[in-house]
C-alpha cells in the first residue's frame, strides 16, 4: 500500500455503486483506482472522490487498477465549485493531464504545478489568460514546447519567419515556408507572448495587459498544437469553454 498526495482527475461510474477514479499522485504519477461504494450517499468516499479534490490517498497498488483504502481531503477547492466557468476550466485542466499521460506515467514537478494552478484558479480573474498559461506551462513540463528559436522543420536558427506550423510544432524558416502546408502568420508580439508565458511566473503574467485579440489568436493555435501533439484523443471538456 502507498500513501500519497493526489488530485482527482476524473471519476467514472461502474457497477451498481462503485466508481473508478483517475488520480494524479505525487509519488506514482497517473494512477487508476477502484472505489467501492462511492455512490452511496453515506459513503465516506462519496464527496471525497469528486474531480479536482486534493487529498492524501492510501491505495493498494495492483498492476493496472489500484484500490482506494483511505482518503483525507485537504483541498476541496470550494471557490472553484461556486463558479460554473471555473468548474468547466478545472474540468478541462484535469482532462488535459489525464489525456497527456499514460497510466503509471510520472512527470517530475507536474503534481506541484497542477496543485498550484488549482489554488490560483480560485481567485483568477481572466480565465482565458489563465487557460493559456496553464496549457503552455503544463505541456512544456510534459515535454512538448512550441519551438520558437529554431525552425521546427529543418532546425535552422537563421532567417526565421513569424509563421507557426501546428504540424511541425513551431516557427518555420524562410527556406521551409514554401513547403509548409499549415503555416499561419503571427505578429512578432504573439511569439513574444508565448515565450513570456513560458518563462515568467504566473503572478507576473497576470499583471501584464494582453489584448483579447492576441490572446484568442495564440490560444487557438495552442489548442491545435495540443490536439496534434499532446493528447491521445479529443478533449471533451474543451467544448464547455466559451471562447475556445
Ligand atoms: Zn527550416
Chain segment 59-96, per-residue pLDDT in tens? 998 888 999 999 999 999 999 999 999 999 999 999 99
Looking at the fold, whether 215 and 104 belong to one and the same domain comes out as yes
Looking at the fold, whether 36 and 133 belong to one and the same domain comes out as no
Looking at the fold, whether 50 and 20 belong to one and the same domain comes out as yes
CA of 140 to the centre of ligand 1 (A): 22
* Dist CA 32 CA 202 (whole Å): 30
* Dist CA 188 CA 167 (whole Å): 20
Looking at the fold, whether 83 and 70 belong to one and the same domain comes out as no
**Do 107 and 113 form a contact (C-beta atoms < 8 A)?**
no
**Strand ranges inside the chain, DSSP E:** 2-14, 18-25, 29-35, 54-60, 66-75, 160-165, 170-173, 183-185
**Does the pLDDT of residue 244 top 60, yes or no?**
no
Looking at the fold, whether 158 and 53 belong to one and the same domain comes out as no
Query: Residue 242: what pLDDT?
Result: 67
- Please report, rounded to a whole number, the percentage of residues in the chain having pLDDT higher than 70: 99
Grid coordinates of 156: 535552422
User: Rg of the chain's alpha carbons, rounded to an integer?
Assistant: 20
* Dist CA 140 CA 147 (whole Å): 11
How many domains does the chain divide into?
2
CA of 161 to the centre of ligand 1 (A): 9
Looking at the fold, whether 68 and 83 belong to one and the same domain comes out as no
From the centroid of its chain, how far is CA 179? 32
What integer is the mean pLDDT of 192-198?
96
Which residue did the predictor score with more confidence, 103 or 58?
58
CA of 215 to the centre of ligand 1 (A): 26
Boundary of a domain, candidates 76, 91, 115:
76
Chain segment 3-21, per-residue pLDDT in tens? 999 999 999 999 889 999 9
| CATH number of residue 54's parent domain | 2.40.50.140
* Dist CA 108 CA 40 (whole Å): 36
CA of 160 to the centre of ligand 1 (A): 8
**Does the pLDDT of residue 109 top 50, yes or no?**
yes
Looking at the fold, whether 145 and 121 belong to one and the same domain comes out as yes
Looking at the fold, whether 72 and 129 belong to one and the same domain comes out as no
Query: Residue 207: what pLDDT?
Result: 83
* Dist CA 115 CA 106 (whole Å): 15
Structural domain of 136: 77-244
Looking at the fold, whether 223 and 142 belong to one and the same domain comes out as yes
| CATH number of residue 94's parent domain | 1.20.1440.120
Boundary of a domain, candidates 22, 42, 76:
76
Boundary of a domain, candidates 52, 76, 100:
76
Query: Residue 192: what pLDDT?
Result: 96
Looking at the fold, whether 56 and 136 belong to one and the same domain comes out as no
Looking at the fold, whether 212 and 147 belong to one and the same domain comes out as yes
Write out the residues surrounding ion ligand 1, Cβ under 5 A: 151, 153-154, 156, 173, 176
Looking at the fold, whether 158 and 44 belong to one and the same domain comes out as no
Query: Residue 62: what pLDDT?
Result: 83
Amino acid at each position: 500500500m502507498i500513501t500519497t498526495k493526489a488530485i482527482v482527475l476524473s471519476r467514472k461510474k461502474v457497477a451498481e455503486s462503485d466508481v473508478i477514479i483517475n488520480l494524479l499522485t505525487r509519488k506514482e504519477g497517473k494512477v487508476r483506482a477502484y472505489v467501492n461504494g462511492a455512490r452511496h450517499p453515506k459513503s465516506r468516499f462519496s464527496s471525497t472522490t469528486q474531480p479536482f479534490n486534493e487529498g492524501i490517498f492510501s491505495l493498494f497498488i495492483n498492476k493496472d487498477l489500484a484500490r482506494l483504502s483511505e482518503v483525507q481531503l485537504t483541498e476541496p477547492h470550494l471557490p472553484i465549485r461556486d463558479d460554473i466557468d471555473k468548474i468547466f476550466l478545472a474540468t478541462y485542466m484535469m482532462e488535459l493531464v489525464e489525456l497527456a499521460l499514460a497510466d503509471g506515467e510520472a512527470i517530475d514537478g507536474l503534481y506541484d504545478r497542477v496543485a498550484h494552478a488549482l489554488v490560483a484558479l480560485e481567485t483568477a480573474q481572466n480565465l482565458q489568460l489563465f487557460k493559456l498559461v496553464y496549457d503552455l506551462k503544463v505541456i512544456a513540463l510534459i515535454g512538448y514546447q512550441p519551438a520558437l528559436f529554431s525552425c521546427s522543420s529543418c532546425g535552422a536558427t537563421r532567417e526565421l519567419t513569424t509563421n507557426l506550423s501546428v504540424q511541425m510544432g513551431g516557427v518555420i524558416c524562410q527556406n521551409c515556408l514554401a513547403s509548409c502546408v499549415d503555416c499561419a502568420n503571427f505578429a512578432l508580439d504573439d511569439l513574444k507572448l508565448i515565450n513570456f508565458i513560458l518563462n515568467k511566473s504566473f503572478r507576473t503574467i497576470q499583471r501584464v495587459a494582453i489584448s483579447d485579440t492576441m490572446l484568442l489568436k495564440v490560444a487557438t493555435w495552442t489548442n491545435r498544437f495540443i490536439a496534434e501533439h499532446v493528447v491521445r484523443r479529443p478533449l471533451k471538456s474543451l467544448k464547455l469553454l466559451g471562447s475556445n
